[in-house]
Amino acid sequence: MNKIRVFVAGACGKMGMETIRTILSQEDMEIVGAADIRNQGQDIGTILGMSPLNMQITGQITVDKLQNSKADILVDFTNPKSVFANAKEAIRAGVVPVIGTTGLDSAEISELEELAKEKKVGVFIAPNFALGAILMMKFAEETAKYFKHVEIIELHHDNKLDAPSGTALKTVEFISQNRQTMMQGHPNEYEKIPGSRGGNINGIHIHSVRLPGMLAHQEVIFGGLGQTLTIRHDAYSREAYMPGVLLAIRKSYKSKDFVLGLEKLLD
């Protein structure tokens, strides 16, 4: 059996390390490269607290580096500033990028899609790899048929760079399938402190919380006459994302499709 050859960018980050540990335990996958701006030249196994894997951590992602590793998939958990350049290098190398970093804007996504079509290479981008988070979004989409008033509170660790989260933005996209843009609250409402009501997309307010001790959490609160309905998802460890990461790798292997969202891969 040919194993899926995976190169991991952001290998020394918490998500990157958890991804490598998970892939090492899979019979149908193997790690063929690890890149990070930290710990370059060190063995990734040592960084993981394991026996050496005879694989040095390298720096910037390049076409040559990916082709020399014979990678099939580049899993990228870096940051919004790096992921766009990494994805373009992967596509040019004929390697499918599986992107878990949020922060790509619509223009960057469109550019990646055009390049992927030109090179006939698949791309997978997901704001969230937790299956429970995908179900939360789908439940919110269904609820919006009956409750039109809704606000979102997303809570993450204090080292998260972007706000609001990609998951919150994707949730608005789901809800908007069954809800037209509308103004909520009193028409004469005003903010004593600018930003008190959070961000506003399609008339839906999003509130971002960043605190130590948290990982990734989101509440979607619907309001109706005499009642509210709250849909909440909590990720307490990065293990929560691994089933989704593995699903994305397997579905993206040899794919030529440009896919946005883990929900597209669910049966």
Q: What is the CATH number of the domain that holds 227?
A: 3.30.360.10
Are 133 and 245 in contact, with CB atoms under 8 Å apart?
Answer: no
Are 20 and 73 in contact, with CB atoms under 8 Å apart?
Answer: no
Confidence at residue 5, expressed as pLDDT on a 0 to 100 scale: 97
pTM (two decimals) = 0.85
Confidence at residue 8, expressed as pLDDT on a 0 to 100 scale: 97
Confidence at residue 151, expressed as pLDDT on a 0 to 100 scale: 98
206 shares a domain with 244 = no
Confidence at residue 101, expressed as pLDDT on a 0 to 100 scale: 78
Confidence at residue 233, expressed as pLDDT on a 0 to 100 scale: 98
Confidence at residue 127, expressed as pLDDT on a 0 to 100 scale: 83
Output DSSP code: residue 158.
Answer: T
148 shares a domain with 110 = no
Q: How many other C-beta atoms can be found within 10 angstroms of the C-beta atom of residue 1?
A: 5
Domain holding 149, by residue range, is: 131-236
Bridge partner residues of 201 (DSSP) = 204
116 shares a domain with 13 = yes
60 shares a domain with 96 = yes
Confidence at residue 125, expressed as pLDDT on a 0 to 100 scale: 94
Q: Six-digit token pair at 201? A: 């997309």
Task: Clarify whether 160 is annotated catalytic.
Answer: yes
CATH of the domain at 260: 3.40.50.720
**Given 88, 156, 217, 251, the catalytic residue:** 156
In the chain the beta strands, taken as DSSP E runs, fall at 4-9, 29-35, 73-76, 96-99, 123-125, 149-156, 199-201, 204-210, 216-224, 227-235, 258-260
For 40, the 3-state DSSP assignment is: coil
109 shares a domain with 66 = yes
Q: How many other C-beta atoms can be found within 10 angstroms of the C-beta atom of residue 159?
A: 9
Please choose, from the candidates 110, 115, 102, the residue with its C-alpha nearest in 3D space to the C-alpha of residue 216. Answer: 102
Confidence at residue 100, expressed as pLDDT on a 0 to 100 scale: 87
The helix (H) or strand (E) run that includes residue 236 is none
77 shares a domain with 8 = yes
**Given 3, 119, 149, 160, the catalytic residue:** 160
109 shares a domain with 17 = yes
Are 74 and 96 in contact, with CB atoms under 8 Å apart?
Answer: yes
* Burial (CB count within 10 angstroms: exposed 0-12, middle 13-18, buried 19+), residue 25: exposed
Are 1 and 28 in contact, with CB atoms under 8 Å apart?
Answer: yes
72 shares a domain with 14 = yes
Are 56 and 78 in contact, with CB atoms under 8 Å apart?
Answer: no
258 shares a domain with 210 = no
- Which residues does the chain have with pLDDT short of 70? 267
Number of domains in the chain: 2
121 shares a domain with 10 = yes
